[in-house]
A = this chain, B = another copy of it.
C-alpha cells in the first residue's frame, strides 16, 4: 500500500426495495467502467414517496478506487 493514490467518486443509487439494494445498484453500475473499487461510504439516505409509501430509496455514497 506504499504511495498508492486513490480517487473518490460520489454516486447515488436508486432502488424500490431498500438501502442495501440502492448501494449495490450504484456499485454495480460504477464497476462496469472502473476497476479496483475498494470501499464506499454512505453520505446521504433519501427517497421518494408515493401514496404514503416509499417508492424509491436513494442512497448517495462515495466510492474509492486505486488510480493506476
Contacts and interface: CB of A to CB of B under 8 A. Distances in A.
B25 A52 contact: no
Contacts of A26: 5
A10 B58 CA distance: 18
Interface residues of A, number: 52
29 contacts: A1-B56, A2-B14, A3-B15, A3-B25, A4-B14, A5-B14, A5-B29, A7-B11, A8-B10, A8-B60, A19-B19, A19-B20, A20-B54, A20-B57, A23-B47, A23-B54, A27-B52, A27-B53, A30-B67, A31-B49, A31-B51, A31-B52, A37-B52, A39-B49, A40-B47, A40-B54, A42-B44, A42-B46, A49-B63
